[in-house]
Structure 1
Amino acid sequence: MKKEMGTIVSLLLASSMLLSACGGNTPAAAPSSQTGEGTHAATQTPDKKEAGYPASLTYWAVLNANVSATLKSYSEVAAYKELERRTGTKVEFQHPTAGQDKDQLNLMLASGKLPDVIEYSWGTVNKGADALIKEKSIIRLNELIDKHAPNLTKLLKEHPEYRKMITTDEGNIYAFPFIRGDDYLLTYGGIALREDWLEKLNLPMPQTIDDYYNVYKAFKNGDPNGNGKQDEIPVLLNFNSGSSGFYFLYAWGISDGFYQENGKIKFGAIEPQFKEFVEVMHSWFKEGLIDKDYAATDPKLQDSKVTNSQLGSVPLLVGGGVGRYMDLMRDKDPKFKLAGAPYPVLKTGDKPELGQKEAPFSGIGAAITTSAKNPEEIVKWLDYKYGQEGHMLFNFGIEGESYALTDGYPKYTDKILKNPDKLPIAQAMGQYILAMGNGPFVQDRRYMEQYAGLPEQQKAIETWMNAKNEKWLPVLTQTAEESARFNSIMNDVNTYFNETINKLIMGIEPLDNFDKFVGTLKSMKIEDAIKLRQAALDRYNKRQ
Structure 2
Amino acid sequence: MRKPWRRSAIWTMLVLGLVLSGCNSGAPTNNEANPEGESGTVVNKTGYPIVQEPIKLKIFSRIAPVNGPFKDMPVFQDYEKMSNVQVEFIEAPTDGFQEKKNLLFASNELPDALFRSGLTPLETIRYGTAGQLIPLEKLIDDYAPNFKKLMDQYPEIRSAITTPEGHIYALPAVVTLDAARTDKKWINQAWLKKLNLQEPQTTDDLYNVLVAFRDRDPNGNGQKDEIPMTARAGQPGLGLPIVNMMSGSFGLDQQLGYNINLVDGKVEIWMGSERNKEMLMYLNKLYAEKLLDPALFSHKEAEYLAKQASGKTGFFFDQTNNPFLKIADQYTGIAPLEGPHGDRLQSQGAPIARDFGAFAITSVNKHPEATLRWIDYFYSEEGSTLLRFGREGEHYELKDGIPYYKEEYSTAETQPKITPYAGGGAPHLISDKVASYINPPQVQEAQEKLDPYMPKVRYAAPMFDEQTAQQVNILRTDIDKYYEEQSTKFIAGTLSFDKWDEFRSTLQKMRIDELEKLYQEAYDKMQK
Q: TM-score range by the shorter chain?
A: 0.7 to 0.9
Q: In the alignment, which of 260, 269, 272 is matched to residue 270 of structure 1?
A: 272
The change in CA–CA distance for 1:133 and 1:292 in structure 2 (over 3 A counts) is closer
> Partner amino acid for 2:195?
L
> Matches of 1:120 and 1:70 in 2, distance apart?
13
* 2:237 paired with 1:250: no
The answer on whether the counterparts of 2:232 and 2:304 sit within 8 Å (CA) in structure 1 is no
The change in CA–CA distance for 1:118 and 1:494 in structure 2 (over 3 A counts) is same
> Matches of 1:269 and 1:299 in 2, distance apart?
26
Which is worse superposed, 503-512 or 231-240?
A: 231-240
The answer on whether the counterparts of 2:144 and 2:372 sit within 8 Å (CA) in structure 1 is yes
> Matches of 1:456 and 1:186 in 2, distance apart?
16
The change in CA–CA distance for 1:323 and 1:134 in structure 2 (over 3 A counts) is closer
**TM superposition shift of 1:199:** 0.7
* 2:515 paired with 1:522: no
The answer on whether the counterparts of 2:251 and 2:343 sit within 8 Å (CA) in structure 1 is no
The change in CA–CA distance for 1:230 and 1:347 in structure 2 (over 3 A counts) is same
Tell me the equivalent position of 1:448: 435
Structure possessing the higher radius of gyration over alpha carbons: 2
* 2:207 paired with 1:220: no
The 3-state SS of whatever aligns with 1:449 is coil
* 2:472 paired with 1:490: no
The answer on whether the counterparts of 2:381 and 2:429 sit within 8 Å (CA) in structure 1 is no
* 2:156 paired with 1:200: no
Tell me the equivalent position of 1:279: 281
> Partner amino acid for 1:448?
A
The 3-state SS of whatever aligns with 1:295 is coil
**TM superposition shift of 1:110:** 2.0
**TM superposition shift of 1:456:** 3.2
| Higher strand residue share | 2
Give CA deviations for 1:217-236 in whole Å, capped at 9, x if unaligned: 11111111112233322112
Tell me the equivalent position of 1:180: 175
> Matches of 1:158 and 1:275 in 2, distance apart?
39
Q: RMSD of the alignment, in Å? A: 3.0
TM-score for the superposition, normalised by structure 2: 0.82
Q: In the alignment, which of 126, 132, 139 is matched to residue 134 of structure 2?
A: 139
The answer on whether the counterparts of 2:226 and 2:312 sit within 8 Å (CA) in structure 1 is yes
> Partner amino acid for 2:333?
G
The 3-state SS of whatever aligns with 2:519 is helix
Tell me the equivalent position of 1:368: 361
**TM superposition shift of 1:47:** 4.2
The change in CA–CA distance for 1:24 and 1:302 in structure 2 (over 3 A counts) is farther
The answer on whether the counterparts of 2:70 and 2:89 sit within 8 Å (CA) in structure 1 is yes
> Partner amino acid for 1:518?
R
The answer on whether the counterparts of 1:254 and 1:354 sit within 8 Å (CA) in structure 2 is no
The answer on whether the counterparts of 1:493 and 1:521 sit within 8 Å (CA) in structure 2 is yes
* 2:294 paired with 1:292: yes
> Matches of 2:147 and 2:204 in 1, distance apart?
48
> Matches of 1:86 and 1:98 in 2, distance apart?
29
**TM superposition shift of 1:102:** 2.7
The change in CA–CA distance for 1:95 and 1:466 in structure 2 (over 3 A counts) is farther
> Partner amino acid for 1:254?
L
The 3-state SS of whatever aligns with 2:213 is helix
The answer on whether the counterparts of 2:121 and 2:463 sit within 8 Å (CA) in structure 1 is no
The change in CA–CA distance for 1:462 and 1:416 in structure 2 (over 3 A counts) is farther
Tell me the equivalent position of 1:62: 62
> Matches of 1:44 and 1:267 in 2, distance apart?
46
**TM superposition shift of 1:471:** 7.6
The 3-state SS of whatever aligns with 1:451 is coil
The change in CA–CA distance for 1:323 and 1:393 in structure 2 (over 3 A counts) is closer
**TM superposition shift of 1:44:** 10
Give CA deviations for 1:391-418 in whole Å, capped at 9, x if unaligned: 442243212212234554434333334x
Q: In the alignment, which of 141, 144, 151 is matched to residue 149 of structure 1?
A: 144
> Matches of 2:70 and 2:505 in 1, distance apart?
49
> Matches of 2:127 and 2:391 in 1, distance apart?
37
Percent identity for Structure 1 against Structure 2: 27
The 3-state SS of whatever aligns with 1:196 is helix
Q: In the alignment, which of 387, 397, 401 is matched to residue 394 of structure 1?
A: 387
The answer on whether the counterparts of 2:141 and 2:148 sit within 8 Å (CA) in structure 1 is yes
* 2:223 paired with 1:229: yes
Tell me the equivalent position of 1:429: 415
* 2:323 paired with 1:324: yes
The change in CA–CA distance for 1:450 and 1:381 in structure 2 (over 3 A counts) is closer
* Unmatched tracts of structure 2, length 5 or more: 1-27, 33-44
The change in CA–CA distance for 1:70 and 1:375 in structure 2 (over 3 A counts) is closer
The answer on whether the counterparts of 2:116 and 2:427 sit within 8 Å (CA) in structure 1 is no
**TM superposition shift of 1:433:** 3.2
